[in-house]
Amino acid sequence: MSLIVQKFGGTSVGSTERIKNVAKRIARWKAQGHKIVVVPSAMSGETNRLIALAKEISPMPDPRELDVVASTGEQVTIGLLSMALMELGLKAKSYTGAQVKVLTDSAFTKARIERIDENRMRADLEAGYVVVVAGFQGVDAAGNITTLGRGGSDTSAVALAAALKADECQIYTDVDGVYTTDPRIVPEARRLATITFEEMLEMASLGSKVLQIRSVEFAGKYKVKLRVLSSFEDKEGPGTLITYEDDPKMEKAVISGIAFSRDEAKITVMGVPDRPGIAYQILGPIGEANIDVDMIIQNAGVDNMTDFSFTVPRNDYAKTMQVLEKQVKGHIKASDIRGDNKVCKVSLVGVGMRTHAGVAGKMFRTLAEEGINIQMISTSEIKIAVIIDEKYMELAVRALHKVFDLDQPA
């Protein structure tokens, strides 16, 4: 008998019919004698709807109140799913994050889980209940409702699995595993039977939303056995297992996957003096405004002047420009500040890069052949990322997928 945490994403619980199907799947696992904790997301589109409602009232909603609203989608699905389980004759009980409790810090809309009290869940599991816990939400030390950032139910599930020392955490979604790239963009994409934790971490951080980045970090920290599966197949297949050790015996492709993200904006501060402290003067106020800077390039200066470029999340573009205009431009006497929020990031990921040279060259040649200009480049041991014009994103991903032999064999 195993203890399994099963997370069901928004599409998987998108209608009462689908919730009933999810209940049937859970009942099958329960009938095999397993202890089950279930973590549903809100019904698909619901969290977007709630956030839009908040923005109709207030363009920049108060974060504490936004979390009060945004967290409610999951309260609906835990109740509905518990009812559906009871209709099948199972014992089931639902809990909100605060009831469990899932203790987080107080960073509303992007809170981090600090501790989970598993006593109540354990007692229920012992008594034969399926325990249904709301994803995406928690409570801070002062009792305020918090949410974990978009896609945060993945993190709820992995954190619960870690706290309960579960045998496996299963993430059920609308695709049957992690693919070489988003199968909605490249129909030839292939499901990966396994992906290393490091690669999954890069894929998630570079934009593959199949798993929220924090869920992968959590899984790595506590070595949670994590699997991505489809909730749309009658009998679940093997899905994709996240592995913690790279099996040297396995013949590995150089590139495991391609990630991409439209959530990018590029800013160039032109004509600034090329002297010590300039990066700090530009990026300091941006960091203080709580904006994450990603790629940074400082060009070689001419006549002691230089240009300085960096990227920020697209959502923070307007705020970044404001900070630069108000706090930086006059101060460092930049000649101009140029922004472009129509760029995207395309990245190759693979542990095979450690032992194979020439990946970057092949990537750049492929993009050149497609007439795509590279605006910025950043690399690490197992990834190469480029910033390009957003309108070429799909073309770039498809071309790279083919050139690096990731396409499904015909």
Q: Which residues make beta-bridge pairs with 130?
A: 92
Residue nearest to ligand ASP (CB): 153
Report phi then psi at 82, rounded to 5. -60, -40
Q: Which residues in 133-162 contact Mg ion (CB under 5 A)?
A: 151
Q: Which residues of 295-318 are buried (b: 16+ CB within 10 A; e: fewer)?
A: bebbeeeeeeebbbbbbbbbebbe
- Contact residues: ligand ADP, CB under 6 A: 9-12, 41, 151, 173-175, 178-179, 181-182, 184, 208-210, 257
Segment near ligand ASP (CB under 6 A); pick from 120-128, 145-153, 283-291, 373-381: 145-153
C-beta of residue 265 within 8 angstroms of C-beta of residue 311: yes
**Contact status: 14 vs Mg ion (CB under 5 A):** no
**Contact status: 42 vs ligand ASP (CB under 6 A):** yes
Q: How far is the C-alpha of 228 from the C-alpha of 238, rounded, in Å?
A: 9
Closer Cβ to ligand ASP, 10 or 350, answer by number: 10
Q: Answer with the entry of Mg ion, ligand ASP, ligand ADP, none that 115 interacts with (C-beta below 5 to 8 A by kind).
A: none
Least distance in Å: CB of 67 to Mg ion? Answer: 18
Q: Which residues contact 369 (CB under 8 A, 6 or more apart)?
A: 399
CA distances in angstroms from 215 to 172, 202, 211, listed in the order given: 14, 12, 7
Count of residues binding ligand ASP (CB under 6 A)? 13
Q: Extract the tokens encoding 2.
A: 């195993």
Segment near ligand ASP (CB under 6 A); pick from 20-28, 147-155, 310-318, 322-330: 147-155
Least distance in Å: CB of 260 to ligand ADP? Answer: 8
Q: Answer with the entry of ligand ADP, ligand ASP, Mg ion, none that 20 interacts with (C-beta below 5 to 8 A by kind).
A: none
The DSSP-derived string for 343-405 is EEEEEEE-GGGGT---HHHHHHHHHHHTTPPP-EEEEETTEEEEEEEGGGHHHHHHHHHHHTT
Residue of 14, 61, 73, 257 interacting with ligand ASP (CB under 6 A): 73
Residue nearest to Mg ion (CB): 151
Least distance in Å: CB of 152 to Mg ion? Answer: 8
Residue 17 DSSP code: H
Q: Extract the tokens encoding 203.
A: 């894929």
Residue nearest to ligand ADP (CB): 9
Q: Which residues in 120-139 contact ligand ASP (CB under 6 A)?
A: 135-136
Pattern 22-41, ligand ASP, x by CB under 6 A: -------------------x
* The length of the chain, given as a count of residues: 410
Q: Give the binding site for Mg ion (CB under 5 A).
A: 9, 151
Q: Give the binding site for ligand ASP (CB under 6 A).
A: 9-10, 41-42, 47, 73, 135-136, 150-154
